[in-house]
Amino acid sequence: MSSPPPVHPRRPKPKRLSLSLPLSPESAPSPALPRPPGPRRPSLLTLITQPPAAYPPRAPASPSSSSPTASTSTTPTTSPPLPPTFTLAVPAAYPFRQTEPYQHGPVQVLPGIWLGAEESVTRWDVWAANTTGNRVRVMNVAQEVEDPFDPGLSRVSGWSAPSGLPDEMPRPKLKLKTYPTAAVAVGDGARPIPHVEYCHARWSHGELGLADLPEDACLRDVLYPRAPESSERPWRFWETIRWMEEGRQRGIPILIHCQCGVSRSATLAIAYTMALAAAGAMPHYLGHIRVMQDAYDFVKGKSCWIGPNHSLVFQLVDFARSLTTLLSSHYATTPNALIKTSFPTAAESELSEAEWARRRREFDEDDMGEYTTDLSTTASNGQTAAESCMSAEEAGEEARRLDAAMLARREAAIKEQM
């Protein structure tokens, strides 16, 4: 099976809402020494065929209790409205190896939570070996990947494809289905498989509104989750997280997947990690997470293949801000109920007017070409961080191209196996 060529989005000028990916400040050498050049963040399809080798996550900071009066840090950790450029750090050393993502099965990113590709679903020996009550949950967030357990779908070498449904007929954005062990096809019948609780949220690479919260949302919904009662509307981060966490707390293994396990499912894994950290769940494990970058580093340390596309990163930024708002609301209503989290409240995350003015001046200078290009801001191909910015419009175009590439990749794989 051959993969399509990497998608290389156009690079707009930085004077817009945008995303830049400079080198990680943690990887920077001493200011007295020039920093060696590092590579640009590869495209999503490049990551599929040339995934980076795994690198360890940051050393965890000591968990702290966030309160409305005591900040967890002397410097702000998140920002109000999205600044002109948003920074997602990448490691200075970014080696690659030729291998297929998750070819040995999914990886565990959180206790009981696994991340993988479409083919990872049937790797029961990897992620479903220790089930409670012989049950598992599968969370599929790829719009083009159909339910592999549905008897109404044809199967070709592990791939599922619509059968008997006109191509022009719209498919529901959300599907919830339970497949008892006896009712699930097992292929050659060599081994039984668990009772499957299946959820399919059809997300694109440019899915909007994922960070939105219901009006009655509170952090308690994460600590004491109940599965959403209604499936009449598409599920966002919040609903999928509650569904997964409710199962995880009951000892049910959860697999999150999309087609490749690189962007959409990885985005949900990052959002899930942030939500648990903000709510104070597993403080010994997640207590160091303060911002979206920390959650990204945490998941990246578990799976070297992840690489959310720009549009989904914007959704993660908004979701981090929503969690900050929920934390502030928690302390506004129950000021004495401290949460063991490093996540900031809204007050702690606000940047001073002077800091905003300083950032704006720097951005304007960059836009006018008055900045100095040196090794600290230049990627391996000679492109500066400012030049690699991506606007919201460009991010949307990138997402559409990725959707088309993923659909073509999947159709080619199915035809190849016929």
pLDDT band at 362 (very low <50, low <70, confident <90, very high): low
The pLDDT of 370-392, averaged and rounded, is 43
Q: Check residues 249 and 376 and name the one with the higher pLDDT.
A: 249
What span, in angstroms and rounded, lies between the C-alpha atoms of 317 and 80?
Answer: 10
CA-to-CA dists, residue 126 to 54, 99, 102, 120, 130, angstroms: 19, 19, 11, 9, 9
Does 32 score more than 50 pLDDT?
A: no
Share of residues in the chain with pLDDT > 90 (%):
47
Does 250 score more than 80 pLDDT?
A: yes
Question: Which phi and psi (to 5°) does residue 135 adopt?
Answer: -120, 150
What span, in angstroms and rounded, lies between the C-alpha atoms of 371 and 365?
Answer: 6
Sorted by sequence, the CB contacts under 8 Å of residue 365 that are 6+ apart come out as: 371
The pLDDT of 125-130, averaged and rounded, is 87
Nearest to 331 by CA among 238, 219, 225, 217: 219
Task: Mean pLDDT check: name the lowest of 15-24, 305-314, 366-375.
Answer: 15-24
pLDDT at 228 (0 to 100):
75
Which range among 44-48, 184-188, 276-280 has the greatest average pLDDT? 276-280
Does 275 score more than 80 pLDDT?
A: yes
CA-to-CA dists, residue 343 to 10, 283, 284, 351, angstroms: 35, 11, 14, 15
Nearest to 285 by CA among 109, 70, 91, 54: 109
Task: Mean pLDDT check: name the lowest of 82-86, 204-208, 356-360.
Answer: 82-86
Number of Cβ within 10 Å of residue 28's Cβ equals: 14
Does 102 score more than 90 pLDDT?
A: yes
What span, in angstroms and rounded, lies between the C-alpha atoms of 218 and 225?
Answer: 10
Number of Cβ within 10 Å of residue 333's Cβ equals: 9
Locus of tokens 């590439």: 405
Q: Check residues 364 and 145 and name the one with the higher pLDDT.
A: 145
Inter-residue contact 348 to 342 (CB < 8 Å): no
Does 404 score more than 90 pLDDT?
A: yes
pLDDT at 191 (0 to 100):
58
Question: Which phi and psi (to 5°) does residue 139 adopt?
Answer: -115, 105
Share of residues in the chain with pLDDT > 70 (%):
59
Longest dimension (CA), the chain: 68
Which range among 33-37, 357-361, 381-385, 411-415 has the greatest average pLDDT? 411-415
> Taking the model in full, what pTM does it have?
0.71
Does 368 score more than 80 pLDDT?
A: no
Question: Which phi and psi (to 5°) does residue 124 adopt?
Answer: -60, -30
What is the set of domains in the chain, with CATH numbers? Answer: 99-151+171-367+386-417 (3.90.190.10)
pLDDT band at 23 (very low <50, low <70, confident <90, very high): very low
